[in-house]
Structure formats: structure tokens, C-alpha cells
Amino acid sequence: MTVLLALSCLALAGQAFGAFPDCANGPLTTNTVCDTSATPLERATALISLFTLEEKINNTGNTAPGVPRLGLPAYQWWQEALHGVAESPGVIFAPSGEYSYATSFPQPILMGAAFDDALINHVATIVSTEARAFNNANRSGIDFWTPNINPFKDPRWGRGQETPGEDPFHLQSYVYNLITGLQGGLDPEYKRIVATCKHFAAYDLENWEGNVRYGFDALVSLQDLSEFYTRSFRTCARDANVGSFMCSYNAVNGVPSCANSYLLQDILRDHWGWTNEDQYITSDCDAIQNIYEPHYYTATRAETVADALNAGTDLDCGEYYPENLGAAYDQGLFTESTLNRALIRQYAALVKLGYFDPADIQPYRQIGWANVSTPEAEELAYTAAVEGITLLKNDGTLPLSPSIKTIALIGPWANATTQMQGNYYGVAPYLISPLMAAEELGFTVYYSAGPGVDDPTTSSFPAAFAAAEAADAIIYAGGIDITVEAEAMDRYTLDWPGVQPDFIDQLSLLGKPLIVLQFGGGQIDDSALLPNPGVNALVWGGYPGQSGGKAIMDIIVGNAAPAGRLPITQYPLDYVYQVAMTDMSLRPSPTNPGRTYMWYTGTPIVEFGFGLHYTTFTASLSQPSAPSYDIATLVSLCSGVAHPDLCPFASYTANVTNTGSSVTSDFVSLLFLAGEHGPAPYPNKVLVAYDRLHAIAPLASQTTTLNLTLGSLSRVDDYGNTILYPGEYTLIFDVDAKSTRRFLTTGPNRNNARPLRGGDNGYEVMRLSPTFIIPFLAPLRATQHSPLNRLASTLPTSVTAAVQVKLRYFHYSRPAMSGPSKTKNDTEWKAILSPEQFRILRQKGTEPAGSGKYENFKGEGIFACAGCGTPLYKSTTKFDSGCGWPAFFDAIPGAVNRHEDRSFGMTRTEITCTACGGHLGHVFKGEGYKTPTDERHCVNSISLNFVDEPKA
């Protein structure tokens, strides 16, 4: 079959992407897709039934040509709106006049610093309203690929600016309010737009030390996957009912995300219940192609697109689907019903958006230019910037004294305009730089650009120092920007780049008030500025958007009071030398000081949640309702709750008093929980609730209620299950512990519980009643989406937990991997791997090529299972962890079991110990390996022990 790509070109010619189908007079009039009384599933199914196979395949890319013969217009699925309607393939800004701009809010990293969920919902409502206006004018589609909800784990990540911060609970609350604002509720009759949670999953590397996002394999323990990397996505799917997901460029544990049925089907759709007919998954752009290269996961392009489609990726942002699905279909690699399912999901989403319905019966088709950049939106953009701006140091210089009439405004951000928008931005109605705002406030301003962000030269110093000498006070505006942190660009250092540190140091010697404004998303080490008495104040401004200059200058002069809190940890310079960006683990180890405020074992320069005010506050947290709680009782009260992690536990009130005498200020209430309960290591503390109080007057008080759930008290075990453990819990109000409270939970300790075989779901569980467990995984069961689940039902109880992890899938490589001989014993492996990584390597993995422990062993004896000691092979057997022959072929008869699995596009056989079920490796067959049996044997050699033959 030949896919008619020419049809795409013809269909796209002369059509606007935002055009609507004609259900009144067009060819679709009599089709069920135009029947507003039918369900979205029925309507989309009826539409797709009219497509030919060629037309179906042509419409699998983001630039969909539609079907001209049916009157179905072309549609562009790719629109962006990270912090306002943004330039992207589907968004068309006019050169002037109407639709030539849209409101540009601060980047999410700064809005996250506000810790104000109501603000985020309001911003999202404005953004999606303006998006609808553009769509109604045929200037955009209605599907927007936002938000980026990956946690900001590593300060070097170039796209951390796009996220709200590092804390998973904060991200969950943020994204819930964002999604419901963007879409117009949890399940409205008509969605305002379709939002897209991206990038699923474990994506936080662009280009570091030769590791490029397109081919990076993120090795993540199930514990970290459940506890950290997927929590915000669970909220997107299960709680906020988001319309779309985007699978990421990277692989997760050997499988590219867009071909990873474990992520896309087992977790997302089956376990989280994200199964509405109008919910679809798109790839990141060209991520389907990246499955083939540079992941080298599949042998052919046809296998690539089939693997992605079968795994659940419905839409290709790119051209790989339209170009290669035809060949894949001819080879029988997917069924037409699978293709139909993907298209039905997409067009059912358009049905929910009112795409096929008369304009006069739905609420959003009347939105127009009058609803774009309204006074309300402009004020909100300013408020969002003010609320997020964070005061890191102040010796009393701020707010500036009215006696200061002249200022030197110096630095690469001093006259920033588009720089304030960061990335993924659109055309703003205006951009108020700090220079413009300062002049508007009536200051006499001596402006000098000074050295650039990453400028290594000093030629600008004389002019800048002349400006500084002429002024009453100095404001230096610098930091980092998208020239050093951006998509496809990670950082290598946490220092202020270029000559900025030397320049600031020289300014601090002038004996004048010096305020340093630090811009950018990722933090930079302020350890030289904070103790410097010549630096009087330090303010972090992120990327503050269209009104950023006005917001920050209003804070400097006291027209607004700072109350933002740092949503990420500021690490010292040497952090980048202590842990590789490629290390995905959160917990500390010999090669990792720990990540985020929860696990970092060093001393941060500025801690997560820190932020100063122009006034002082005290606070008192209410007492627990009881000194201790029985876990069995707590769980029994949640028997009718659909999601036990959301079951209410307790509400605490905090009374916050502004003890200052002159400044009205907001206050962010942060409630942390700490304690040594559950397995070690223990987190330093975790955020469990927050709220922002507004405009607390001098000597006045306000009260907030902070709600905790059972999920707030839980820990996550090695298998990703959420568990309540008995022990002492400490509640800590604010980063400086303004108030603390303690309580106990009682019940059996899971670590001492007896493991029992689970009911009929086929995997080993801990029967810990009354201990509280929320399984992370869907029950292991035989499904087409879970190839290793079928294996689980055949394995002994002792290894079903290892199969449950499913962290190692087949990784096809072109050309065959090879490498120098390198020997590591168990101790050496443990020194470079986390305990979880070592366990997975032993139970489910195979070492890198040439690293096998027994490759060149010449002694006489036997190789025995490391798990139970059962003899497996004679010492004459060849072991090559780079995969070779023989190996399992020469096993002692009856010593190993074979479990065939054909879900990888070839025959793969898992090998386990007959006696105990320990995983030993796998075999591939039928790929032209040029061995006597055309088999490639891959041995997990550290699952073996060598036993010397007894001497006579």
C-alpha cells in the first residue's frame, strides 16, 4: 500500500487550520458526527468510518490534511500556551491590529514561587479564553500542548524555567488548578481548550556531556518513578481529567517513552483510569523518529511506528506516522482497529471542544478580540509577577528611601523586554523593562548595559562605573537567560556566568546602596553575594513577563511588598561535580548528595521555600485532634473513598500575625512533615500543604486552614506502593519552623509483616492490614499491553515482584554493541549503583557489553544461581555479557526455565532459575546472529556465583 502523501499537500493548500467543518450544508451533514445528541465516541467513530485507509494514515501527524472530499478541513494539533498564547505552528499572530498580540504572563517558575493556586487557575482561565479567541478567528487550533509538569530536579536543566519548581506536591496542586482553568472545569459539556500534560515521563535533560534528550535512557527506580517523576502526571490524568498527554523524547529504563506500553497503557490508562474516549496521547515532536534513531530501539522504520502506535501513542508530532504506517500495515505490524482507535480519540476530543457543533449552542464560540489582553488580564499579569518575585537578602535598604532620587540601572537585564518572557512565548501587547518602569516612577536614571550575561570581557566596565558614580543608589539587573538555559541547552555550572561576579564585587566597593536583581529560571550560587556587606539587597525575579519591569521596580520602591518563596533549592557551586545529570535517583548515595530539599544532604545556599518580607510575622499552628491515631481506624474511615491517598486525615489552622507596624504584606503558609517512619533513608521533610494569605495589615492576623490527607502521611516503598507506616510525625510550619506539632500513628510495622501471596491479581503483596497500601502498578495480568505481565503468571512467587518492576525491556542496537573487557564484582557494582539499581540489575537486567564477571574465567567448577545456590552450568560454558553463544544452550538439564515472549517484534525468551525463579538473562532468536542456532544469549552474570570443583 502506498500512502498518498500528496493528498496532504493538496488538503493544506489555502486552508486555515482553525476552520470548522460545515455540519449544516456540507458532506458530513447526515453523518452522526454532526448529531449533537450522540456521544463523542459515537460521533468520532462515525466520522472515522468514512475515511479510507490512506486518509486515516495521512491524518496521523500533527499537521493533519483533513479529508477534503468529506468537507473535513485541515487541522493543526500543535499550539503552545505555556504562559500565554505562544508562537507555534498552529498560532498565527497578525502583523498588526487585532490578534497581533496576547497577554504574556511570567514563566511558570516565577508563578510557582507565588504558591497561590487561585492565581494559577485565574491565569489559566485568561490564557485559554484568549486561545479560544484566536481559534474563533481561524488563527489557531483548540489543542494546546501545555503545561510542562516535569519536576525541576537538577538546577542545570535548561527547561526548568517552564515548570513550577521541584516539589511534587506543589506541582500536583499547581497543575490541578492550571488544567481545570485551561479546560473550563473537570468535565464540562464543552472544553474551553484541550490541555496537554508533558513530558511523560522522567524528562529533565537536554544536552549534557554528550547525553542528548533524543536518545537518553533515564534509568529510574520504581520507587522514584512513583514518588517523584509521575505524581504530577497522576494528578493530570486521575484528578484533573486532562485531555491530552505528551510522551517524552527520552527512554525510561530501556524503552523510549513513546513506545513504552508500561507507561502509556499500564500506568496512565489502566492504573490511573485515564480512559475517556476523548483523551489522546501525542508524541513530542519527532520523538517517534527518535525511537528508530538515536535510541536504536527498533530494527526498521515500520517497526518504529508500529511499536509507538501499539503502545498507545495516538498522534505523531512529526511525519514518521504518515510516512511509515503504510509499510507497517503491509507487514501486519498493527491492525486497522488500532489505527481507528487513535483517530477516534483525537476527533472525539474535537467533538468535546464543539468543533462540529453550531456556534450558537456553545459557550466559547462567541469569544473574540475584545476578550484578548483585557484590563483584567493586564492587571493579572502584573499581579502574577509581583506575587512570585522573591526577596533573598535585605539589610533594610529596601524598600528604597524616598530620599533617593537618582539611580544607576546597570546590567544585561536592565532594559530587558522579550528577555523577560523566557521561552515558549508569544507577542505581548507591551513589555515594560526595569528601565522603563524606573523612569515612570520619576527617578533620574543613569543607564548602562554593562557586561552581557555570558560576556567574558570588561570593555563595558568604565561606562557602567561612571553611571554608578553619578547615582544615589545602584541597581544591578543580571543573572542568566535563555542564552545559557533553554530547550536543548543545559548548564554546566551554577556560577553567575561571564564576568558578572567580578563586576558585582567591584560595584559593591563603591560605598553606595546596591540592589542586585537576579533573573533567570535555574538558580545560581549566591554565596558570594549574601555575606557581602556591600550588597544590600538581593531579589530573584525569574522571567517576569510583560509587566516584569514594573513589578520589580514597584517592589524596590515599596509600592508592592515581596512575599514569594523560592520553589527550588539553590545549591552550592560544587553540586554539579557531586552528581551527574544522568543520575535519576533522588536519595543520597556515595555518588549523589541527594536531590531536592527532601533528600539533599549538603547545606543549600538558599533553601526551598525561603523568602523574606518587608515586615515580620509570627504564626501558631493548631494542635492535633489526638496525640495518636490508629492506622486501622484511619483506613476504615476511607472505605468509600475512590482514591485513598486523597482521603482526608486532618485539618490544621494556622493563625498568622503581621507583627510589623508599617507594611501590609501577603504571606505564604508552608506546612512540612518530617519523621523517621518507614524504611531508611528518611527525607529531610516534605511539603504537605500550602496557602497564600493576602494583604495582612500591620498588627493584624489572618487564619488559613491546611488540609492533610492520608497521602500526606505516606511513604513510597521499593515497588512504588504508597504506604502508611507507624511512627512519630512532626508538622513544621514554614522553613524557619515558626510552629511545630507532633503526633503518632500506631499499627503493625510493614517491615515485620509476613509476605503473603495476593488474591487473584497474580503478584506478591504485603498483607499488612491495617497498614495502608496504595499499589502504584495496575494488577499484573495478561494483557496485550503488558508483555512481561504474561511472564509474571508463570514465574515462582519469589520473582513476581521483580517482574512487577518491569524496568528492563529489550533494547535493539544498530550496530551490535561491543566494548573493552571490564570486570566488576558485586562490591564494585554496589559502589556505583544505588541499591535499587543493583537489585534490578541482578533480577532483571543484563550488564553493558564487555563487563561480564565471568567472561575470561578459566577455573574448574560450576556456576550456581546467586539466589539459591542451584548448579546451573559447567565452568566450560562461555559467559559474555555483551550477548553471544552458547550459555543457556549449555545449561545443566532442568536447571533453567524458558518463558517465551513475542511482544517485542521478535522472539525473546526470559531465562530464570528453575529452583528459585531468579532472573538469569534472556535469549533473542531469528535476527541473523550467525550462531549455530541463530540465537543471541544475554547473561546477567552477577546473578551467578562460581563454585570451585572439589580437589581430590
**719-752 pLDDT per residue, tens:** 888 999 999 999 999 999 999 999 999 987 644 3
Contact 937, 887 (CB under 8 A): yes
Residue, of 864 and 522, whose pLDDT is higher = 522
Average pLDDT over residues 788-799: 31
Average pLDDT over residues 222-250: 97
- With a cut of 80, say whether residue 645 has pLDDT above it: yes
- With a cut of 90, say whether residue 942 has pLDDT above it: no
**Three-state DSSP class for residue 451:** coil
> What does the alpha-carbon distance between residue 76 and residue 62 come to, in Å, rounded to a whole number?
6
- With a cut of 50, say whether residue 25 has pLDDT above it: yes
Domains of the chain and CATH, by start: 32-80+193-362 (3.20.20.300), 371-577 (3.40.50.1700), 617-746 (2.60.40.10), 830-948 (2.170.150.20)
Helix (H) or strand (E) holding 555: helix 548-557
Question: To the nearest whole number, what is the mean pLDDT of the chain?
Answer: 86
Average pLDDT over residues 675-697: 96
What are phi and psi for residue 901, nearest 5 degrees?
Answer: -145, 125
Residue, of 439 and 780, whose pLDDT is higher = 439
- With a cut of 70, say whether residue 846 has pLDDT above it: no
pLDDT digits (tens, 9 = 90+) for 763-772: 222 222 223 4
**559-573, 858-872, 881-895 — most confident range:** 559-573
- With a cut of 50, say whether residue 526 has pLDDT above it: yes
**789-798, 800-809, 851-860 — most confident range:** 851-860
Residue, of 952 and 134, whose pLDDT is higher = 134
**Which pLDDT score is estimated for 907?**
53
Average pLDDT over residues 807-811: 25
- With a cut of 90, say whether residue 697 has pLDDT above it: yes
**Which pLDDT score is estimated for 817?**
24
- With a cut of 70, say whether residue 783 has pLDDT above it: no
**Which pLDDT score is estimated for 835?**
59
Average pLDDT over residues 619-628: 97
- With a cut of 80, say whether residue 308 has pLDDT above it: yes
Amino acid, res. 652? Y
Lowest average pLDDT, out of 180-184, 213-217, 437-441, 842-846, goes to 842-846
Which of 204, 217, 224, 284 is the catalytic position?
Answer: 284
Cβ burial, residue 455 (10 Å; 0-12/13-18/19+): middle
**Omega into 726 within 30° of 0, i.e. cis?**
no
User: DSSP string of 5-25?
Assistant: HHHHHHHHTT--TT----TTT
Average pLDDT over residues 516-542: 98
Taking alpha carbons only, the member of 516, 540, 510, 507 closest to residue 397 is: 516
Lowest average pLDDT, out of 119-133, 289-303, 845-859, goes to 845-859
pLDDT band per the 50, 70, 90 thresholds, residue 897: confident
pLDDT band per the 50, 70, 90 thresholds, residue 889: low
Count other C-beta atoms under 10 Å from residue 472's C-beta. Answer: 16
**Which pLDDT score is estimated for 749?**
60
Residue, of 704 and 920, whose pLDDT is higher = 704
Taking alpha carbons only, the member of 452, 434, 366 closest to residue 135 is: 366
**Which pLDDT score is estimated for 674?**
98
Residue environment code for 908-926, b if the CB has 16+ CB neighbours within 10 A, otherwise e: bbbbbbbbbbbbbbbbbbe
**Which pLDDT score is estimated for 747?**
86
For the chain, percent of residues with pLDDT exceeding 70? 81
CB-based contacts of 724, cutoff 8 Å, min separation 6: 631, 634, 635, 710, 713, 714, 745, 747, 771, 772
**Which pLDDT score is estimated for 827?**
64
**Which pLDDT score is estimated for 444?**
98
Write the CA distances from 304 to 269, 407, 519, 785, integer angstroms. Answer: 21, 60, 42, 16
**Which pLDDT score is estimated for 939?**
74
Average pLDDT over residues 597-614: 98
pLDDT digits (tens, 9 = 90+) for 473-487: 999 999 999 999 999
Q: In this structure, what DSSP letter does residue 32 have?
A: G
> What does the alpha-carbon distance between residue 679 and residue 275 come to, in Å, rounded to a whole number?
34
- With a cut of 50, say whether residue 753 has pLDDT above it: no
- With a cut of 80, say whether residue 946 has pLDDT above it: no
CB-based contacts of 909, cutoff 8 Å, min separation 6: 898, 899, 900, 901, 922, 923, 924, 925
- State yes or no: is 284 an active-site residue: yes
**Which pLDDT score is estimated for 896?**
82
Average pLDDT over residues 775-799: 33
